Amino acid sequence: MSETLTLGKALNLGLRRAMEDDSKVILMGEDIGKLGGVFRITDGLQKDFGDERVIDTPLAESGIVGTAVGLALRGYRPVIEIQFDGFVYPAYDQIVCQVAKMHYRSRGKVKLPIVIRIPFGGGIGAVEHHSESPEAYFAHTAGLKVVACSNPSDAYWMIQQAIASDDPIVFFEPKRRYWEKGEVDTSGSLESAFPLHSSKVLTSGTDATVLAYGPMVRVALDAATAAAEDGRKLEVIDLRTLSPLDMGAVFDSVRKTGRAIVVHEAPHNLGMGAELAARITEECFYSLEAPVLRVAGYDIPYPAARAEEEYLPDLDRVLDAVDRSFGW
């Protein structure tokens, strides 16, 4: 059954289905109950599943994540909503010191199937702490898995796959894409869905590879359309999984195109682009016609709303990078 859904609604339906499938799935977060969350991702779930399974919490991110650890130790599959990207930092200690390490520290005896949902990125006219892209902090931490969805169909399936995973997963949601619509085929099973930790080739091309995830996938696709008018065929890959990275399709693509451009909103310095550039260089060195280029946010704190358009990578900056790659 296929229906047209916004990304936000697709997440809502995915959460609902996960809760129907497994009574041990519970949601926790700030204002997620009656209000349905700031972005209404949990809209209606408390009404239908009760306030013991959709738990409104105080403003205590560290306490919430630590509570989730205790719940997971007792067999639950907690799904935490962090209200905005910048609000995750108080919980960083629990995520890095407990969530990421307890499975390893117990040599596999303890499993922590926790999902930490984080709306991330800018583009909604907010300010710092409400527009950040902290994914690299988490991808750097062994023991955590990190994914980012970019469209309604992936949102619907990936959230369910993340909840079904026995590993802790930091789940990034592109907040400015919450209202964008797409076709979602809700039939079929989780097992037959496209695997969670796999990158996906979205447009086939021979001239340059563009790697993106989350909110920047739409920008990369628009760039591919625009480049096609100039006769350049871009291969856009939605990475989807940031830890572990799925490099197979990326290497195949770069060996074919000889050029790679990574696009993300997070700052350049030590962002995901750095790791991707290193890996591509290590594996595809003799295929490269130009260095791997990065189109990223600037190395500044996320700016005020009026400067947001300058900060965020857009169509022009991606096309400019493509030009620079060809000019090498």
Minimum distance from CB of 131 to another protein (Å)? 25
Contact range with another protein by CB under 8 A, out of 34-42, 62-70, 233-241, 313-321: 62-70
Q: Which of 103, 129, 130, 197 is catalytic?
A: 130
Contact 237, 267 (CB under 8 A): no
Quick check: is 264 catalytic?
no
Nearer of residues 195 and 301 to another protein, judged by Cβ: 195
Which of 11, 13, 69, 322 binds another protein (CB under 8 A)? It is 69
Q: Does residue 181 interact with another protein by CB under 8 A?
A: no
- Helix and strand numbers (H, E) in the chain are 12, 14
Q: How far apart are the first and last CA of the chain?
A: 48
Of 9, 53, 14, 17, nearest to 33 (Cα)? Answer: 53
Query: Which residues have CB under 8 Å from 154's CB, separation 6+?
Result: 194, 238, 240
Considering Cα of 204, then 208, then 214, then 218, what sign does the dihedral take?
A: negative
Of 78, 62, 61, nearest to 114 (Cα)? Answer: 78
Q: Does residue 98 interact with another protein by CB under 8 A?
A: yes
Which of 48, 105, 188, 305 binds another protein (CB under 8 A)? It is 105
Q: Does residue 188 interact with another protein by CB under 8 A?
A: no
Nearer of residues 65 and 220 to another protein, judged by Cβ: 65
Q: Does residue 281 interact with another protein by CB under 8 A?
A: no
Which burial class, exposed, middle or buried, applies to 287 when counting CB atoms under 10 A from its CB (0-12, 13-18, 19+)?
middle
Q: Does residue 72 interact with another protein by CB under 8 A?
A: yes
Which burial class, exposed, middle or buried, applies to 242 when counting CB atoms under 10 A from its CB (0-12, 13-18, 19+)?
buried
Nearer of residues 143 and 258 to another protein, judged by Cβ: 143
Nearer of residues 24 and 40 to another protein, judged by Cβ: 24
Between the alpha carbon of residue 144 and those of residues 49, 95, 241, 296, 298, the distances in Å are 28, 8, 12, 24, 26
Q: Which residues in the 32-61 window bind another protein by CB under 8 A?
A: 52, 57-58, 60
Q: Does residue 71 interact with another protein by CB under 8 A?
A: yes
Cα separation, 182 vs 153, in Å, equals 7
Which of 22, 31, 62, 128 binds another protein (CB under 8 A)? It is 62
Contact range with another protein by CB under 8 A, out of 31-39, 100-108, 177-185, 303-311: 100-108
Minimum distance from CB of 282 to another protein (Å)? 19
Minimum distance from CB of 143 to another protein (Å)? 6
Query: Which residues have CB under 8 Å from 291's CB, separation 6+?
Result: 277, 328
**DSSP, residue by residue, 11-35:** HHHHHHHHHHH-TTEEEEETT-SSS
Place of tokens 């991702």: 41
Q: Which residues in the 107-126 window bind another protein by CB under 8 A?
A: 107-111
Strand-pair partners of 5? 182
Which of 5, 19, 45, 68 binds another protein (CB under 8 A)? It is 68
Cα separation, 17 vs 150, in Å, equals 20
Nearer of residues 29 and 66 to another protein, judged by Cβ: 66
Nearer of residues 75 and 231 to another protein, judged by Cβ: 75
Q: Active-site residue numbers?
A: 130
What does the binding site for another protein look like in residue numbers (CB under 8 A)? 52, 57-58, 60, 62-76, 78, 90, 93-94, 97-98, 102-111, 142-143, 145, 161, 164-167
